[in-house]
C-alpha cells in the first residue's frame, strides 16, 4: 500500500497541484509571520540598552517627573561617579528651507558626563553646554546642515529658538529612530523645550569597586519610596519590555490573518480530496476486491495527504522566507525593531511544516473516511459516479438554527453594547452559512444564473446545471470565499462608517474655519496667547480640560459653546461669560445646583448661568461619571489651571476679515512652532481619518491572501470537475458545442461560484460591520452604517475578474483532448 501510495502521488501530482498551492500560500503566511515576529523580537533585544551601556543604576519617575534638584542630590551620593537626568519627548526642527522637518521627532536629554554617554558619534561631538545640539546623521545629510551653524528647535515649551549644531549621531536601529529627526540637547535645554516638567529617569554611573546593591540602597534613600531604582540588569530588562511592548499584539494580529488563510486553505484541500477520491471510487473498489482492507485504504489516503502536505509545506516555508524578508524591509523603514537579515529558527520551520501537514491530513480525513464507505461492488458500477447526495435534514436544521443565532447575536450586540457578541455573531453566521450551504448556495447559483442565461444562452444554462449538480461541492467552494470576502467587506464597511461618523462629528462640533493641532503632543506654551493677540483673528479657543473634585472642568468659548449643546434645561447659555459656568444636567441633579446659584469649582466661586446637556463623551479619560462636567470661559480656566495645555485650538477670523488673510495671520505665528500644524476643516477630517485608511489598506492586503487562496479553490474545483466530466464534455462537443461555447460555459460556472461566495461574504461583512457600529454608537458617538458602494462594487468586480482568469486553465485542459479520445475516456 505504501508503494502504491507513492506511485499514486507521482501519477496524480497535477490533480493535487492547485490544492498544494493553497497549502503553500497558507504555510507561507504562517512561516512569514513567525519569521518576522522572531526577527522583531531579536531586533528588540539588539536595541535594548543601546543608550545604557554605561548605566549602572537608574531611578525612574513615578506619578511625577523627577526634578533637576533631585539629580543633584543623587550626584552627591557616596559612590556615584556621575548622574544625569534623562527625558524623551517630542520636539520639532526647522529645516534649511524655513519649514518644519516632516516626521515624528524624538527629543532626548543627553548626559554631559562622559561616564554616562552611550551615543555613537559620527561627526563632531556631543553637546557639553547649554545652547548646543546634536541631530541624527540622516537629518543632517538631508537638510545639509553644517556643524557649527545654528539650527532652530522648538517644542511644548515655546517657539523655536536657535541652537548650535555640534555633532551628528547614529541612532538607526534603536528605539529613538522612529522615522523623523532625533534631537539631542543638554538636560536643561531639553527640559526647556519639553515644557520644564522634569526628567523621566536619572542615570547613575558607579565608582569603580562600589557594591551595586549598597549603592542602590543609598540612592533609594535619597530619591524616596515613590521612585523605583533598578540595577543594570533590570534597566536592560525594562528597555526590552518597552521595545517589545506592542510586539505581542502585532504578532497576535498577524497570527489571526494567518489563521484565516489556513482555514480557507483547509476548505480548499478538503474539497479537493473529496473530488479526487470520488473520481477514484472504482480504483478503490478494485483494491478492496483484491484484499485491501478499509483501514488500509483509509491510511493510504491519509499518507498521500501527508506527503502532499509535506511537499507543499516545504515550498511554503521557502515562500514564507521571501515574505518575511519583504515585510521586514517594509517595516524597517518605519523604525520597527527588525533584526538585520532573516531570522529562521528550528521552531519556526517545525511549526510551519507541522501545521501544513496536519492541516492537509485533517482536511483529507473526512473525505477519505467517506470514500471508504462505498461498497466495492457498487463502486464498480455507474452508481459510483452519481451526483453526491444532498445535505441531510439534521445538517440543514442545525445550519438554520446557527445562522439565526448569529443574526440574533449581531442584533443584540448593538442593544447591549457587547463587543464579544459581534465576534460571536460573525462566527455563528459563518457556521450557519457553511452548514446550510448545500441548499443556500445552489439556490443563489440558480437565481444569479437567470440573467446570465439570458445573456449567454446555452453555455450559461450548462454552467448552472454543472454548478448545482453537486450541492456539497459548490457549497464548499463558495463558502471558502465567504471567509476572506466577509472579513474584507466588514473592514471596508466599518472603515467607511467610521470615516463618515468622524466627518459628521467635525461638521457638528467644529464650527470654525481653522484648527491648530499639536504634532504628537500638546500645544506649545504661549502659542494660543500669540494667536489671540493677532487683530485678524476673532475667536481663538484652546480645547482644555481637567478633572478636579470628581468633576471634569472644560474650557469653553461663549461664541462656540452652543454648537455642542443638545439641550438647555434651564437658564440662558447667552449669559455665559467670565465668573459664570455652564453645568451639565447630571452634575446639577446630583449636587442640587440651579441657575443663579453660586458654586465652587477648584476652590473658587462661580455663578451658574445655565444647566445644559451635551452628548459628547467625557474628554478626561473617563475618570468621572457621564455628565459630571462644568464649562468655564478660557480666561477663568487659565487662572485656575495655568499649566494645563490642550492638543487643539479653534480659530475664526475677526469680523470683516477674509479667510485668506486670517490664515496668513495664523501661519505667521505657527511657523515659529515646528510641533504644530494649521488645518482647515477638510484637512482636519483627512488627518483624523488617515489612520482609518492606513489600517484598512494594511488589513485588505493581508486578507487578500485568503481571497487568493479561495479563488485557487475555484480553479481547483473547476479543473477537477473537468477531469470528471471528460466524456460528457466530448459528447457536447460532438453534438455541436463550439470551443468558444465550452470556454463560456466553464467561465460562467467559475463566475457563478465566485459570485455566490462574494455575495454571501459581502452580506456577512455588512452584518458584522453593522453590529460593530451599533456597539460603537452605544459607547459614544454618532456612528451609523454607511455602505461604500464603490469599494464593495470593486470587491465584486475583482472577484468576477479573478474567477474568469481561474477558468482559463480548466478550459484549456477540457479542449486539449481530441473528441474521439475523450469519448473513450474512463
Query: Quick one: three-class SS letters along 766-801?
Result: HHHHHHHHHHHHHHCCCCCCCCCHHHHHHHHHHHHH
**What's the confidence (pLDDT) of residue 377?**
67
**What's the confidence (pLDDT) of residue 41?**
74
**What's the confidence (pLDDT) of residue 528?**
92
| CA gap 119, 125 in Å, rounded | 10
**What's the confidence (pLDDT) of residue 336?**
53
**What's the confidence (pLDDT) of residue 620?**
43
**What's the confidence (pLDDT) of residue 688?**
77
| CA gap 419, 426 in Å, rounded | 11
731-715-485 Cα angle (round to 5): 135
| CA gap 176, 239 in Å, rounded | 12
Q: Residue 543: which region, alpha, beta or left (left: phi > 0; alpha: psi -120 to 50)? A: beta
| CA gap 322, 306 in Å, rounded | 24
**What's the confidence (pLDDT) of residue 730?**
81
Beta pairing partners, 648: 517, 543
> What share of residues in the chain are helix, strand, coil (percent, to 5)?
60, 15, 25
| CA gap 53, 50 in Å, rounded | 6
Q: Residue 586: which region, alpha, beta or left (left: phi > 0; alpha: psi -120 to 50)? A: alpha
| CA gap 341, 279 in Å, rounded | 47
| CA gap 76, 83 in Å, rounded | 9
Alpha-carbon distance values, 295 to 9, 12, 191 (Å)? 19, 22, 77
**What's the confidence (pLDDT) of residue 619?**
47
Alpha-carbon distance values, 414 to 405, 469, 614, 626, 762 (Å)? 15, 40, 22, 20, 20
**What's the confidence (pLDDT) of residue 144?**
93
In Å, the largest CA–CA distance within the chain is: 103
Residue 28 C-alpha cell reads as 507561507
User: Phi/psi at 541 (nearest 5 deg)?
Assistant: -130, 125
pLDDT per 10-residue tile (average), the chain, 826 residues: 60 61 87 83 71 90 89 94 92 89 89 91 94 95 94 90 95 80 94 88 93 93 91 83 68 80 84 75 70 78 85 91 78 56 84 91 84 66 52 81 89 79 89 89 92 87 87 85 88 88 77 85 89 93 92 92 85 93 94 94 94 68 79 94 90 92 92 88 79 78 79 79 76 83 89 92 92 79 82 90 86 78 62
Are the C-beta atoms of residues 101 and 181 closer than 8 Å to each other?
yes
Residue 29 makes CB contacts below 8 A (sequence gap 6+) with 257, 258, 261, 262, 320, 323, 705
Amino acid at each position: 500500500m505504501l508503494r502504491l501510495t507513492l506511485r499514486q502521488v507521482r501519477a496524480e501530482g497535477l490533480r493535487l497541484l492547485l490544492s498544494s498551492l493553497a497549502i503553500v500560500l497558507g504555510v507561507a503566511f504562517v512561516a512569514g509571520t513567525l519569521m518576522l515576529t522572531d526577527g522583531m523580537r531579536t531586533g528588540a533585544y539588539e536595541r535594548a540598552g543601546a543608550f545604557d551601556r554605561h548605566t549602572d543604576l537608574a531611578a525612574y519617575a513615578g506619578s511625577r517627573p523627577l526634578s533637576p534638584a533631585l539629580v543633584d542630590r543623587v550626584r552627591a551620593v557616596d559612590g556615584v561617579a556621575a548622574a544625569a537626568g534623562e527625558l524623551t519627548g517630542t520636539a520639532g526642527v526647522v529645516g534649511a528651507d524655513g519649514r518644519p522637518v516632516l516626521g515624528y521627532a524624538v527629543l532626548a536629554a543627553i548626559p554631559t558626563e562622559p561616564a554616562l554617554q552611550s551615543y555613537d558619534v559620527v561627526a563632531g561631538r556631543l553637546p557639553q553646554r547649554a545652547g548646543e545640539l546634536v541631530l541624527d546623521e540622516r537629518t543632517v545629510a538631508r537638510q545639509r546642515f553644517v556643524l557649527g551653524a545654528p539650527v532652530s528647535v522648538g517644542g511644548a515649551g515655546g517657539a523655536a529658538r536657535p541652537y548650535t549644531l555640534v555633532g551628528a549621531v547614529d541612532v538607526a536601529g534603536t528605539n529613538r529612530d522612529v522615522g523623523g529627526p532625533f534631537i539631542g540637547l543638554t538636560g536643561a535645554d531639553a527640559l526647556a523645550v519639553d515644557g520644564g516638567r522634569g526628567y523621566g529617569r536619572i542615570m547613575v554611573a558607579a565608582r569603580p569597586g562600589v557594591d551595586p546593591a549598597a549603592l542602590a540602597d543609598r540612592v533609594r534613600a535619597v530619591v524616596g519610596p515613590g521612585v523605583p531604582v533598578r540595577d543594570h540588569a533590570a534597566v536592560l530588562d525594562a528597555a526590552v519590555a518597552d521595545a517589545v511592548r506592542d510586539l505581542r499584539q502585532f504578532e497576535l494580529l498577524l497570527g489571526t490573518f494567518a489563521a484565516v488563510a489556513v482555514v480557507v486553505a483547509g476548505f480548499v484541500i478538503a474539497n479537493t480530496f473529496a473530488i479526487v477520491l470520488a473520481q477514484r471510487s472504482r480504483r478503490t473498489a478494485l483494491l478492496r476486491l483484491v484484499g485491501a482492507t478499509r483501514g488500509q485504504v483509509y491510511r493510504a489516503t491519509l499518507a498521500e495527504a501527508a506527503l502532499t502536505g509535506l511537499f507543499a509545506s516545504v515550498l511554503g516555508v521557502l515562500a514564507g522566507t521571501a515574505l518575511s524578508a519583504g515585510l521586514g524591509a517594509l517595516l524597517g523603514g518605519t523604525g520597527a525593531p527588525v533584526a538585520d537579515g532573516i531570522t529562521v529558527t528550528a521552531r519556526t520551520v517545525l511549526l510551519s511544516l507541522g501545521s501544513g501537514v496536519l492541516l492537509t491530513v485533517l482536511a483529507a480525513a473526512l473525505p477519505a473516511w467517506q470514500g471508504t464507505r462505498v461498497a466495492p461492488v457498487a463502486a464498480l458500477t455507474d452508481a459510483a459516479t452519481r451526483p453526491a447526495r444532498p445535505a441531510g435534514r439534521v445538517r440543514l436544521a442545525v445550519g438554520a438554527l446557527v445562522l439565526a443565532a448569529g443574526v440574533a447575536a449581531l442584533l443584540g450586540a448593538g442593544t447591549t453594547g457587547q463587543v464579544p457578541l459581534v465576534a460571536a455573531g460573525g462566527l455563528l453566521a459563518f457556521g450557519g452559512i457553511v452548514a446550510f450551504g448545500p441548499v443556500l448556495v445552489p439556490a443563489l447559483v440558480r437565481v444569479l444564473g437567470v440573467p446570465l442565461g439570458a445573456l449567454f444562452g446555452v453555455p450559461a444554462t450548462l454552467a448552472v446545471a454543472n454548478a448545482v449538480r453537486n450541492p456539497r461541492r459548490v457549497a464548499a467552494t463558495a463558502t471558502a470565499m465567504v471567509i476572506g470576502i466577509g472579513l474584507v467587506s466588514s473592514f471596508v464597511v466599518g472603515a467607511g462608517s467610521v470615516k463618515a461618523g468622524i466627518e459628521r462629528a467635525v461638521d457638528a462640533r467644529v464650527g470654525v474655519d481653522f484648527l491648530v493641532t499639536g504634532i504628537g503632543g500638546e500645544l506649545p506654551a504661549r502659542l494660543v496667547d500669540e494667536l489671540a493677540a493677532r487683530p485678524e483673528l476673532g475667536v481663538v479657543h484652546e480645547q482644555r480640560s481637567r478633572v478636579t473634585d470628581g468633576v471634569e472642568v472644560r474650557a469653553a468659548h461663549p461664541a462656540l459653546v452652543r454648537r455642542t449643546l443638545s439641550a438647555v434645561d434651564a437658564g440662558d447659555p447667552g449669559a455665559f461669560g467670565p465668573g459664570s459656568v455652564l453645568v451639565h444636567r447630571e452634575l446639577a441633579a446630583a449636587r442640587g445646583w440651579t441657575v443663579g446659584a453660586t458654586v465652587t469649582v477648584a476652590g473658587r466661586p462661580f455663578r451658574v448661568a445655565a444647566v445644559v446637556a451635551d452628548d459628547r463623551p467625557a474628554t478626561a479619560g473617563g475618570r468621572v461619571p457621564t455628565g459630571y462636567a462644568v464649562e468655564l470661559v478660557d480666561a477663568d480656566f487659565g487662572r485656575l489651571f495655568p499649566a494645563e495645555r490642550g492638543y487643539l485650538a479653534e480659530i475664526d477670523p475677526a469680523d470683516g476679515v477674509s479667510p485668506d488673510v486670517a490664515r496668513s495671520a495664523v501661519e505667521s505665528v505657527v511657523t515659529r512652532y515646528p510641533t504644530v500644524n494649521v488645518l482647515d476643516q477638510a484637512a482636519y477630517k483627512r488627518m483624523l481619518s488617515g489612520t482609518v485608511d492606513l489600517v484598512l489598506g494594511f488589513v485588505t492586503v493581508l486578507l487578500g491572501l485568503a481571497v487568493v487562496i479561495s479563488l485557487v479553490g475555484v480553479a481547483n474545483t473547476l479543473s477537477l470537475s473537468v477531469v470528471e466530466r471528460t466524456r460528457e464534455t466530448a459528447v457536447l462537443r460532438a453534438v455541436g458545442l463550439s470551443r468558444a461555447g465550452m470556454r463560456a460555459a466553464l467561465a460562467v460556472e467559475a463566475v457563478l461560484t465566485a459570485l455566490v461566495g462574494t455575495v454571501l461574504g459581502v452580506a456577512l461583512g455588512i452584518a458584522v460591520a453593522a453590529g460593530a457600529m451599533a456597539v460603537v454608537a452605544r459607547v459614544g458617538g454618532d456612528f451609523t452604517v454607511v455602505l461604500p458602494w464603490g469599494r464593495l462594487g470593486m470587491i465584486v468586480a475583482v472577484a468576477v475578474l479573478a474567477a474568469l482568469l481561474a477558468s482559463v486553465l480548466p478550459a484549456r485542459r477540457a479542449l486539449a483532448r481530441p473528441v474521439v479520445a475523450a469519448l473513450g475516456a474512463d
